[in-house]
Amino acid sequence: MKVSLFITCLGDAIYPRVGEAMVRVLARYGVSLEFPRVQTCCGQPAFNSGYWQEARASAKTILDAFEDSDFVISPSGSCTGMVHHYPKLFESDPVQLARAERLRDKSYEFTQFLVNVLGVTDVGARFPHKVTYHPSCHGTRLLGVKHEPMALMSHVRDLEFVPLPYAEDCCGFGGTFAVKMADISGAMVSEKVDHVKETEAEVLVGLDMACLMNIAGNLRYRGEQVRVMHLAEVLAEGAGLA
Amino acid sequence: MADIKRDAAVGAATGSGSTRAEAVGSESLPAGAAAGETLSEERAVTAGAASGSGDAPADPAHAAWLADMERASRAKQVTFMDGIAARLRHARTTVKPEQPMRGAPDFWRAFDWTPEERIERFQANWRSVGGHTERVADLDAAGRFIAERAEELGARIIVRQDQPELATLGLEAAVPQAEVSVWNSDGDVYWKARAAEADIGVVLADGALAYTGTVVVRSAPGKGRSVSLLPTVLFILIPAERLGTRLGEALVPMDEAGREALPAGVHFISGPSRSSDIENDLTIGVHGPGVVYALIVG
Amino acid sequence: MSAHKGRATVKERAELALNDEFLVKAVKFTTERLRNGKKNASAEHGNWEEWRERGRQIRLHTIAHLDYYLNLFVDNARANGVHVHFADKGEDAVAIAMDIAQRKAAKTVVKSKSMVSEELHLNHALEGIGVEAIETDLGEYIIQLAGEMPSHIVIPAIHKNRYQIADLLSEVAGERLEADTTILAGFVRKKLREKFLEADIGMTGCNFAIAETGSMVLFENEGNARMVTTVPKTQITLMGMERIIPSFEDLEVMATLLPRSATGQKLTMYMSAITGPKRTADADGPEEMHIIIVDNGRSLQLGDPEFQELLNCIRCGACLNACPVYRHIGGHAYGSTYSGPIGAVLTPALNKNIAEWDDIANASSLCGACYEACPVKIPLHDMLIYLRRRKVETGNGKAIETAGMKGFAALTGSSAAMKAALAIGKLGQRLVVRGGEIRTKLGPLKGWNSYRVTPSLPRRSFRDRWEKLEREVGGTRPQMAPDMQRRMEEIVKQREQGGGGHGGH
């Protein structure tokens, strides 16, 4: 059984601690992750901007990287969601299309794998903090990841959960959108942070580092001290694995 | 009460007589015993009247122009439909295609309430949108109720549909200070204007649905569309046995009866006219009646 | 026309809107109320997903056989005594409407809300031949007085406050009206009553047209659409060619989806099914009735697998209320008749001028809230990407972005290239990193850093740390529990047997 880690660009370059936390949590259940070094980016920035030719170049590295994996686990609903778009990218190429469909079917976002495949909802963590949660759009709407993080958080001891008002609203990241439409994106992230502040949470948890980088960026810009963490980090830290 | 005050203010602003809506709706009649009278089915008015019966234009030049338009339109129809079929990349579909899903889901068709539940839910829905509703034992009681309200309102003009059930209300005698007109009963009256100046309209529902709190009224020579629309205050009488549960109970029979059985207007009314277009502030009675009574009879 | 006219791009118009405090507040407040209303109404009704799927299937089927159903509708409407016309383009529809108005020597036309009429800019054309066209929906009347476009499909004057409205109406009244909703609405009721009674023509849109009976159906709350179809002697209905559904039985599904999605109501106060002109012995209703069936770019979507579903739209506005971008910038920033997510796709699709309108397609974070809210499940978030792709494929991409994306492909096409780039990045950031953060507003980070702080690249990336990490956890990793092992094997086996995927769409 080959279980591979799809680290994603942000996970590799900016937030290596998230990948580490995932590896440690999964290792606890005997999952031996394999890390194919040829992987790069899922191609989402190009795909979403309409540059499908360029997106195919990225996609192919991912198809190659995970060719013989049985399970592909990523810390991002958005990047896993992008893999779900691959068949569209290769519609007119039967060989690549078959590979794309295979990869789609074996790709999982971290909590999907932990909860739905391994059947784990209690990692034995304790995290004595007030926590709120931002459900990222692509994870919830594209992959349908909704109950998994809730199940995991509800089993963390001493974690005080405060629902985030208008949680399902986009944080305004949207990849190149944040650059092309900076003012609209800025207004959206500011509103999101207003809602985070309303909860008076100490920690904001999410499942996608792109969104969390966006929200954290605005929190820091405004001098807010709210800690921003991937759920994998909460679980690892809470279980004494960090 | 806020709503009713609003009704009153709108009524006053329209200048429609001495309408004092705040006096209305504060009392209620006890729900009556079983209906003493049977409400007869509405007369069949649609047969033969349905097809192509817009009034023939008096002006022959206009008629000729319409005929020209018609010829051009029929020719255009062919190319228009051919164009659609070509875009859809199939030959013109001339046989009714198999429709994989038609109408509401099966579980919904099986859904029904008991007669008592229907009344309860209908009234709850009607009230929730700012309508007024009462149960009355029979048509006599309904007539008395309307007369009392008409007196409170100081109504001067009442228009009612031309239906035997409404004739038995005896409004002419019961509201002596008001002029009671029977829709379309006199060829010399401009009926739309009459309805527009009326303080009160009285109609009999052809059907009603509890789930959405909706009344169905069908147009006919004796049943003006204006009567349920133009007066400031509207009374709708709903014979209890005509109250169903789901919207589909009124819609499916329209298909079954077919095109030729349909009147020009079938109106589904679910409460008073309303708008939230100004700063989301709910306003009642913006074009249609602001005070609407649904009287469940029997 | 619009307050934002003259601003070339969505970005510029959005900037104006974002700085209009009342606008932002009003739009947020209203869309908030509407989307909560929708959520409650759909939850209260229950089985919402099943109703949605039902609605989608009915619309898909009708559009897939539009030649049959539209033709059937036309034949039946004619049999009902309606004069039916076809307009390939907007101008054709305008010409037909003007022809009828001139034939009827009409002085005034009273109109109920019609997005098609907005799309054709019909009022302007009618005024050109001396016919007064009066919008009678309260919100539409207000924006007509202001000389603006609707900024929301359902709440056209969402962007105006009561003081602005009082100013507009006071001018009509010739006296000072208090900025009180009841007084203002009362004035409009009185004023428009006169207009309804004296108008020569009533003009409407069409929510649904029933193919099997030739009937047209209107949903409304105010009663003005009933006025327009009851009082004037001539009725003209403008109808998009895709408004068809087969039967009244199908209308039950649409009547379940539309009001709940639009305003959170179980049903609008009025739903009217109009089947032909008045019968001879009737004392009200139009004597002459025309229906103008409008294409104006709609047929371009037929047979296009990526955009045909656009024709399923029932114009409820739920996607506007759900859209975080719309909520921040309002409708006028979209610069066209249709705003919000549906407008961002529909406008370029109807006009087939992707290059010109792609700007709008960029004003989305692709969050998918529109799709989730849509009662007939139109994948608007995917369509926005298709629009962007078509612009690129037709060679209309911005030169700088095209160059950037080529670079992106070169980098991400090889892990070695990406690693090298990362190394350069780490070196380069030394110039700007302060305390682990980047705050500079110069260069490419200007937009981003106007609202945020950028994290710096850590010294060692994940791939740099991998070997050490693997050694560390490898030493303590237990054997996997047999049940987990079994489950994983089972999943792989199912997949091989063609069991396909899990989750997602």
pLDDT in tens, C293-347: 999 999 999 999 999 999 999 999 999 999 999 999 999 899 888 999 999 999 9
Contact assignment for C495 to A141 by CB distance below 8 Å: no
Contact assignment for B53 to C51 by CB distance below 8 Å: no
Q: What pLDDT, on a 0 to 100 scale, did the predictor assign at position B4?
A: 34
Contact assignment for C230 to B225 by CB distance below 8 Å: yes
Quick one: C171 exposed, middle or buried, by C-beta within 10 A (0-12, 13-18, 19+)?
exposed
Cβ–Cβ under 8 Å, residues B4 and B25: yes
What's the DSSP call for residue A169? S
Q: What pLDDT, on a 0 to 100 scale, did the predictor assign at position A116?
A: 97
Spatial CB neighbours of B69, under 8 Å, sequence gap ≥ 6: C83, C85
Average pLDDT of C60-89? 98
Q: What is the pLDDT of residues C111-156, one digit of tens each?
A: 999 999 999 999 999 999 999 999 999 999 999 999 998 888 888 9
Q: What pLDDT, on a 0 to 100 scale, did the predictor assign at position C6?
A: 53
Cβ–Cβ under 8 Å, residues A191 and A171: no
pLDDT above 90 coverage of chain A, percent: 97
Nearest to C255 by CA among B285, B293, B250: B250
All residues of chain C having their beta carbon less than 8 Å from the beta carbon of residue B46 are 279
All residues of chain A having their beta carbon less than 8 Å from the beta carbon of residue C485 are 1
DSSP string, A121-162: -----B--SEEEE---HIIIIIS---HHHHHHHHTSBT-EE-
Q: What is the pLDDT of residues A100-121, one digit of tens each?
A: 999 999 999 999 999 999 999 9
Contact assignment for A51 to C397 by CB distance below 8 Å: yes
Q: What pLDDT, on a 0 to 100 scale, did the predictor assign at position B30?
A: 32
Instruction: Please name the helix (run of DSSP H) or strand (run of DSSP E) that holds residue B19, with its range, or none.
Output: none
- Copy the structure tokens of residue C344: 């961002």
- Copy the structure tokens of residue A10: 């942000």
Is pLDDT larger for residue A70 or for residue C500? A70
Cα(C358)–Cα(C344) distance, integer angstroms: 8
pLDDT band at C422 (very low <50, low <70, confident <90, very high): confident
Each of the 298 residues of chain B gets a pLDDT tens digit; together they read: 333 333 333 333 333 333 333 333 333 333 333 333 333 333 333 333 333 444 455 689 999 999 999 999 999 999 999 999 999 999 999 999 999 999 999 999 999 999 999 999 999 999 999 999 999 999 999 999 999 999 999 999 999 999 999 999 999 999 999 999 999 999 999 999 999 999 999 999 999 999 999 999 999 999 999 999 999 999 999 999 999 999 999 999 999 999 999 999 999 999 999 998 898 888 999 999 999 999 999 9
Nearest to A47 by CA among C171, C501, C388: C388
Nearest to C365 by CA among A204, A196, A214: A214
Residues in chain B: 298
Is pLDDT larger for residue B22 or for residue C41? C41
Residue B248 CB neighbours (<10 A): 23
Question: A interface mutation test: which of C374, C462, C490 has the most A CBs within 10 A?
Answer: C462
Q: Which of B52, B55, B87 sits opposite C79 (nearest CB)?
A: B52
Is pLDDT larger for residue C18 or for residue C62? C62
Q: What pLDDT, on a 0 to 100 scale, did the predictor assign at position C412?
A: 86
Query: Which chains share 3+ C-beta pairs under 8 angstroms with B?
Result: C
Instruction: Find residues 308-347 of chain C whose CB sits inside 8 Å of chain A.
Output: 324-325, 328-329
Is pLDDT larger for residue C439 or for residue B126? B126
Residue with tokens 């899903």: B101
Hey, what's the torsion of the CAs at A76, A81, A86, A91, to 10 degrees?
Answer: 180
Q: In C129-247, which ranges are continuous DSSP H helix?
A: 138-146, 162-173, 181-198, 224-230
Q: What is the pLDDT of residues A3-26, one digit of tens each?
A: 999 999 999 999 999 999 999 999
Cα(A221)–Cα(C390) distance, integer angstroms: 37
- Copy the structure tokens of residue B28: 């209620």
Contact assignment for C183 to B97 by CB distance below 8 Å: no
Alpha carbon of B174 to those of A21, B28, B140, B183: distances in Å?
84, 19, 11, 18
A34 beta partners:
A4
Q: What pLDDT, on a 0 to 100 scale, did the predictor assign at position C7?
A: 61
Q: Which of C324, C412, C446 sits opposite A40 (nearest CB)?
A: C412
All residues of chain A having their beta carbon less than 8 Å from the beta carbon of residue C324 are 169-170, 172, 188, 191
Cβ–Cβ under 8 Å, residues C152 and C341: no
Q: How far is C378 from chain A (nearest CA, A)?
A: 14
Nearest CA in chain B to C29: B280
Tell me, rounded to whole angstroms, the distance of Cα B55 from its chain centroid: 23
Cβ–Cβ under 8 Å, residues B277 and C142: yes
pLDDT band at C501 (very low <50, low <70, confident <90, very high): low
Is pLDDT larger for residue C285 or for residue B6? C285
ipTM of the complex: 0.95
Cβ–Cβ under 8 Å, residues B213 and B223: no
Query: Which chains share 3+ C-beta pairs under 8 angstroms with A?
Result: C
Q: How far is C219 from chain A (nearest CA, A)?
A: 30
How high is the mean pLDDT of chain C?
A: 92
pLDDT band at C354 (very low <50, low <70, confident <90, very high): low
Q: What is the pLDDT of residues A34-89, one digit of tens each?
A: 999 999 999 999 999 999 999 999 999 999 999 999 999 999 999 999 999 999 99
3-state secondary structure of B201: strand
Q: How far is A134 from chain C (nearest CA, A)?
A: 13
Q: Which of A27, A47, A117 sits opposite C385 (nearest CB)?
A: A47
Q: What is the pLDDT of residues B49-83, one digit of tens each?
A: 333 444 455 689 999 999 999 999 999 999 999 99
Nearest to A111 by CA among A78, A83, A86, A146: A146
The answer on pLDDT for C505 being more than 70 is no
pLDDT band at C259 (very low <50, low <70, confident <90, very high): very high
Q: What is the pTM for the complete model shown? A: 0.91
